Every structure is written in C-alpha cells, then in structure tokens.
Amino acid sequence: MFDKLLIANRGEIAVRIIRACHEMGISTVAVYSEADRKSLHVQMADESVCIGPAPASESYLHIDRIIQAAQNKKAQAIHPGYGFLAENPAFSSRCEKEGIVFVGPNSKAMDLVGDKVRARQTMEKAGVPIIPGMKCVYKKTKEYEKQAQDIGYPVMIKASAGGGGKGMRIVSAPDQLKTALEAGMREAKSAFGDESVYLEKCIQKPRHVEFQILADNYGNIVHLFERECSIQRRHQKIIEESPSQALDDELRNQMGEVAKKVIQATGYNNAGTVEFLLDKDRNFYFLEVNARLQVEHPVTELITGLDIVQHQIAIAAGEKLNMEQDSLSQNGHAIECRIYAEDPENNFLPSSGRILFLNEPSGPGIRIDSGIFQDCEVPIYYDPILSKLIVWAENREMACERMIQALDNTVILGVKTCLAFLKEVISSPDFKRGDTTTDFIDQHFSDWSSMKKDPFTRELSLMAAAFLSQNQRYNDRSDEKDKREGSFSPWKTLGRWRLGRSG
Amino acid sequence: MEYEFIVDNELKKLNMEQQGQSHSIHMDGHEYLADIKSLSPHIISISIKDRMYKIFIVRSKEGFHIQCQGDSYFIQESDQDEGEIQSSEEKSRKDMLNIKPTMPGKVIKIQVNEKEEIKVGQTLVIVEAMKMENEIKSSINGTVKKIFAAEGDLVDSDKPIMELEEKTE
C-alpha cells in the first residue's frame, strides 16, 4: 500500500479522498490555487502545496506543477477526483511515465472511452446496444446536415471528447442545426480543447441509468448496481438515487452484465461508470463510460455498504478485488442532492461570495460530503458545487421524506443556493411516484420561481429582521468589515431618522 | 415601533411593540402575539400560539440574509420613500437597455451590429463564464445603439457590453 498520496483536486471531492486515505493510514498531500489557500481540503491534508494562481488552467489543470509537487513531496500515487485532470489521458500517461501511480484507469482505456466516437465503434463490435447516430466525425456542416436527415430529427449534438453536458445541444429542426453546431463546437473546444462533435438520435423521454463498476488489474470485474440520474438541469445531474424505480431484477442483471462487458471490451480497470439511456419500452442504449470517481458515488456506497474510494486506492496499489458479484446486494434506498452555489432568481447562474452562516443537517441516515465551512469564501473560478446531501432509508418513500427534512435543516447564508428548488423537486408528486425522465425539470419546473414562497415564512422573516433591528445595530461581523473597509456611514447609526420627504 | 423593509422587491410595513414578555406585531392586516428570542447570534426563535419557528439570520452591510423553513429571503431596510422605489423600477428599465453579463466572463460571439433592429427574445451576445455559454437576449423591441465590447474581450458584470434603444410607438 502507498505511504503518501497526492490529491489533484479541490472542494468536497478532495475532502472525501483525504478522509479515505487517513482511514487507510496513507499520508495526504493537497494541492491548491491561490484562491483556495484557506480551503477545507488544505486544512485537512497532512501537507499542502500551492500550485499557482486562481484560474484552473494555471493550477488544477497544470500538469507539470502537479507532477512536480508529487515528486517534491515523494507521493507515490495521485488521485485526480472528478473534473480537472481526472479524464485527461495526457495526465495519466505522464504519471505512468514518471513512475507515479494514477488512481484511475490505465491511459489506453481512458483514451478509448474518452473518445466517444471510438467508444461507440468498440461497443458496436462487442454487441453492446448503442444509440443510432454518427460513427465518425466530419469536417463540414453539409455532412452534418445530411447525417441529421438520415438519423431523423430531433438529434442530439455531443462533444466527441465530451461529458458533463458540455457542448451538448438538442436540435429539433434543420434550420437550427448550423447555429447549434457552432455553439456546441465552441463549448467543446473550451471545455475539452477539442472541438469535434457528433450527432445521435435524440431518445425521447429516457431515464438515465448508470452502473458503478469496480475492476482490478487482473481482469476481475463486479458491478455495484445502478444509479438513476434522470433529474438533470442543462444536462447536468442534480438528484441521483439507487435503486432505480424502472428496473426489476431481470433487467438489472441484464444491464449489469452488459456494463461488465463494456468494461471488458475497453480493457478498463479501477472504478468506472457505464451510463445507459433507458427508453419507455425498457430498451437500453450505451451512452458512455465515465472514467473516474463520480460525484454521485455516495449513493452506491450507502446501498452497498462499500467504500468506493478505498477500493479505488487498493486496486491502484495492485490489490485483488476481495468480492464476488453474487455476494453483493442492494440494501434500502439512497438519494443524493447536489447543493450548488447558484442563484435561482437569476436563471441558476453560479453565485459566489462568503458563507456567513452554515448549518449542516444530521440524524439517522444522513451523510454530508461537504467542501465548505462557515466563513469560507466560495470562489468564482471553479465548479459551483458546495456539498452533497445524501440520505439512506429502508425504502424510497422514507428516503424522500428524510431528504425533505434534511434539506429544511440545511442552512447556508451569504451565498445563493438551489436548496429551495431541490426541496420542491423531491416533494413533487411526480418525483414521489418515481416518474422520472431526463426532461423532468423542463416538463414540471420550467416556470419555477423562487419568488413563490410561503407568505408565512416571509412574515416570520420580517419579524426576525425587525427584532434584530431593535436589538442591535450591527452584528460583530459587519462591524469589523465596516471598519476594515472604512465605509462607516453616519446615517446608519442615526437609526430611522430621515431628511424631509420629497414631493 | 414602525419598520419598513424591502423584500422580494416589495415594500413591507410592520409594527412591533413589546408587550410584557411578548411582542405584538401588525403587518398586512395580520396581527400576531409572538414570543421572540435570540437563541444564538444567528438564530432567532419566534413562538406563536406555543408553536416555535426557528429563523436563521445574518445581518451584513447590505441587509439581512435569512432562511426560514427552507425558504430564503434577503431583506433590506427601506430608507427610501415611494419616489425612490419607483426609481428602482427605472433602474430595471435601464438594465434592460444596458446589456451586462450576469457574471464576469468572456465575450464569445456578438450576434448583432450597431444600428441593427432587434426584437424581444433575440440573442444579442454569447458570454462564457465557468465554461458554460450564456446567451443574453433582448427584453425589448428596438435598435442596438452602441456596442462597447469585442469578441474575445473579458467583461465585468457591472459594465455594459452594449446599449439598446427602445422603439417608441
């Protein structure tokens, strides 16, 4: 086993990995950008190294600096988390070259599954069902127009190097294709450095069902059952659960076996996820392999009782899988909500700022994977995920109720969040029925407004504000801030006295 | 004592008087007798008819950040009179004419030219922030008066990318 491991990431996932390492007796090295000096992952790691300025390209995406930090600190392995360099074959092969173990798949398999077009070709050969669509990438718009006609509208534009919804666009008519292609290519270029896109048939009202896989370096493969991640906004998952309401044991076994076949056909090792779309007639199609630890991995951990991150590290250290498919089972129901710093009143655009007050829920069956603490700054430079709230209960109905209570008990002040939105989605009758497809949010929540709040909570809030005005002019925090910024205003201390009204 | 607050763009008046251990509160034609206590610097409990509600609250220079039973509010003290509230409407009118990105980012594509006629919902400019492309659309019918930024420019959320002129009937 490793003595020391470097975590090439930040936020909640870096914290999650550090926890696993410490439990395994592995010493940890955090890397951080100048914007993250005081971050939680830096506080928790045994050692930490600043790797550059705030922009990710200068820090968390800077391969040379991360490798150098690992070498200086004599870390034997690097865990990339998700995002940043996690699925970058150049980074994993560089690790291989430098003799540092990369906690993830071998670079050849990563390269293959990362190229969505080549992965589709491989799957077709292996007899895995794929979504009808392009089998290669073209240069000219004309060729895309012809392909789109052949596939039949609506079509989906996807980035060849893709993932995470970046570069993805649905095109419902020929006259929208050109603009959508341009936008998709630009987004693909900026997100992955590769502008290639391809077209697929748009499956109507599918569910997103994915299988968690563990594969060791000796060809042993198990699946840890499914997660359903149909609740998405702008092609990004916001709520995930397991088991899926759409699967019975027969379909589950069938999909699980196909998922293992996908892993085998690509020569993949370590933890990975095989994503499928499941249509309303229960046909399933291979979507892609996510060659990394996923954001939603805790859902699987709660229903299987396994620690996926510890297994990842053990596999990377050359250990054999210590489990058989038949010994694994799903227990109860788990749901995850991603808590993002984003402004529901402003089209859910990322928000940033300082967390002025934080209360995280606790109780039976509640898990928080958090990257924040009270008084921390949420920088604008990175993915706006603050934390993940995951609940476990005996069954789905109880898990939904537990999640609603847990969301109510999550308090984050100072930065805008999607908490109220998540609560409404979980509370909605359609979600409770398990009637979840990837168009769920567009269908049921397209006109959702955070302004529609309970008039009574508004009255209570006003009472609290009045009470506070009466009892104190300022809290200590803003007092300090005022002094620091020298923006002392005599009008504030004069209270509710004002100059003559105009008119 | 009278209080005036602005919440969700509305002016709210509230009267609160101490009555022994309790507070009597009038607002919006409702009357409450509440027992209000501070449990910690940022937690206030309000008991009405023996039912307790917890309100999480932080006061900053800008106003009160509040969460109550899962609902979030931002409440500002109103030091304004009616005329000034109207000016906040004027301000939002001004915001419709001065096109600014919602957050700092990079101008990817400018879809219109100066003097060009534009319609409500028409995409004016695409700005990339946090690796997501955001289309800024027009909320008026009119013309593009002036464009201040070029494709590739880094733009701030407090400076306009372009100015529009509304069509007068």
Q: What does the DSSP 8-state code read for residue A80?
A: -
pLDDT at B155: 84
Q: Is residue A30 in some structural domain? A: yes
- Look at residue B80 in the predicted model and tell me its pLDDT: 53
> What residues of A are in contact with residue B5 (Cβ under 8 Å)?
462, 465-466
Token output for A342: 């984003």
* Whether residue A20 is found in the same domain as residue A145: no
Report pLDDT for A12. Answer: 98
Both A153 and A242 in a single domain? no
What is the rounded CA–CA span in Å between residue A110 and residue A88?
Answer: 8
A273 DSSP β-pair partners: A212, A290
- Euclidean distance between CA atoms B131 and A187, whole angstroms: 7
Chain A contact set for B1 (CB, 8 A): 466, 470
Residue A499: pLDDT above 60? no
Residue span of the structural domain in which A142 resides: 132-201
A55 CB within 8 Å of a chain B CB: no
Which residues 95-124 of B have a C-beta within 8 angstroms of A?
A: 102-104, 108-109
Those of residues 333-372 in A touching chain B at CB distance below 8 A are 346-347, 349-350, 356-357, 359
A464 within a domain of the structure (yes/no): yes
Distance CA A63, CA B82 (A): 58
pLDDT of residue B133: 77
* pLDDT at B95 (0 to 100): 76
Q: What's the token pair of residue A251? A: 């379909």
Q: How much of chain B exceeds pLDDT 70, in percent?
A: 91
| Average of per-residue pLDDT across B161-169 | 84
Question: Does residue A340 sit in the same domain as residue A233?
Answer: yes
Instruction: Flag whether A115 is in a domain.
Output: no
**pLDDT per position as a tens digit, A442-475:** 999 988 887 778 899 999 999 999 999 987 654 4
With a cut of 70, say whether residue A309 has pLDDT above it.
yes
> Are residue A137 and residue A189 in the same domain, yes or no?
yes
Give the up-direction half-sphere exposure of residue B22: CA atoms within 13 A in the CB hemisphere.
11
CB A257 within 8 A of CB A265: no
| Domain membership flag for residue A503 | no
Tell me the per-residue pLDDT of B41-68, one tens digit each, with 9 for 90 and over.
Answer: 999 999 999 999 999 999 998 899 999 9
Final residue in a domain of this structure, among A201, A218, A252? A201
A chain contacts of residue B27, beta-carbon cutoff 8 Å: 459, 462
- Tell me how far the alpha carbon of residue B7 is from its chain's centroid: 9
Do A211 and A197 share a domain, yes or no? no
- Give me the residue from A414, A417, A461 closest to B75, CB to CB: A461
Active site residues of A: 292
- Residues of chain A numbered 173-232 and touching chain B (CB < 8 Å): 183, 186-187, 190-191
Both A374 and A232 in a single domain?
yes
Q: Is A408 left (phi over 0), alpha (psi -120 to 50) or beta?
A: alpha
HSE at residue A216, side-chain half, CA atoms within 13 A, is 14
- Residues of chain A numbered 280-319 and touching chain B (CB < 8 Å): none
Q: Looking at the structure, tell me whether residues A290 and A334 fall in a common domain.
A: yes
Q: In this structure, are A292 and A400 located in the same domain?
A: yes
Task: Give the one of A356, A472, A498 whose C-beta lies nearest to B58's C-beta.
Answer: A356
Give the per-residue SS3 of B63-87. CEEEEECCEEEEEEECCCCHHHHHH
Residue A109 one-letter amino acid: A
**Is a pLDDT exceeding 90 seen at residue A363?**
yes
**Closest approach of chain A CAs to the CA of B153, in angstroms?**
15
| Higher pLDDT pick, B60 / A490 | B60
pLDDT in tens, A30-77: 999 999 999 999 999 999 999 999 999 999 999 999 999 999 999 999
In the predicted model, is pLDDT for residue A222 greater than 70? Answer: yes
The alpha carbons of chain A give a radius of gyration, in whole angstroms, of: 24
CB A128 within 8 A of CB A141: no
CB A412 within 8 A of CB A384: no
Nearest-angstrom CA–CA distance, A357 and A380: 19
Q: What share of chain B is helix, strand, coil (3-state, %, to 5)?
A: 10, 55, 35
What is the distance between the alpha carbons of residues A300 and A329, in angstroms, rounded to a whole number?
A: 11
Same domain (yes/no): A197, A261: no
- Which CATH number do you get for residue A150? 3.30.1490.20
A326 and A410 part of one domain: yes
In a domain, A127, yes or no: no
Inform me whether the C-beta atom of residue B152 falls under 8 Å from chain A C-beta atoms.
Answer: no
pLDDT digits (tens, 9 = 90+) for B140-157: 889 999 999 988 888 877
Q: Is residue A311 part of a domain?
A: yes
Please indicate, yes or no, whether residues A181 and A295 belong to a single structural domain of this protein: no
CB A105 within 8 A of CB A272: yes
- pLDDT over threshold 50, residue A272: yes
Domains of chain B (ranges; CATH) run 2-77 (3.30.700.30), 94-166 (2.40.50.100)
pLDDT band at B103 (very low <50, low <70, confident <90, very high): confident
Task: Give the domain CATH number at A76.
Answer: 3.40.50.20
Same domain, A309 and A398: yes
Q: Is-contact A412 A428, C-beta < 8 A?
A: no
Q: Is the peptide bond before A361 cis (omega within 30 degrees of 0)?
A: no
Query: H/E/C letters for each residue in A275-333?
Result: EEEECCCCCEEEEEEECCCCCCHHHHHHHHCCCHHHHHHHHHCCCCCCCCHHHCCCCCE
- Characterize the bridge pairing of strands A411-413 and A366-370: unpaired
A382-435: pLDDT as tens digits: 999 999 999 999 999 999 999 999 999 999 999 999 999 999 999 999 999 999
Residue A93 belongs to a domain: yes
Token pair, residue B57, equals: 């609250």
Rounded (10°) CA dihedral A103, A104, A109, A115: -120
A278 part of a folded domain: yes
Confidence of residue B83 (pLDDT cuts 50, 70, 90): very low
> What are the residues whose beta carbons fall under 8 Å from the beta carbon of A454, sequence distance 6 or more?
B69, B71
Sequence letter at residue A38: K
To the nearest whole percent, how much of chain A has pLDDT over 70?
93
Number of domains in chain A: 4
Give the number of other Cβ atoms within 10 Å of residue A484's Cβ: 8
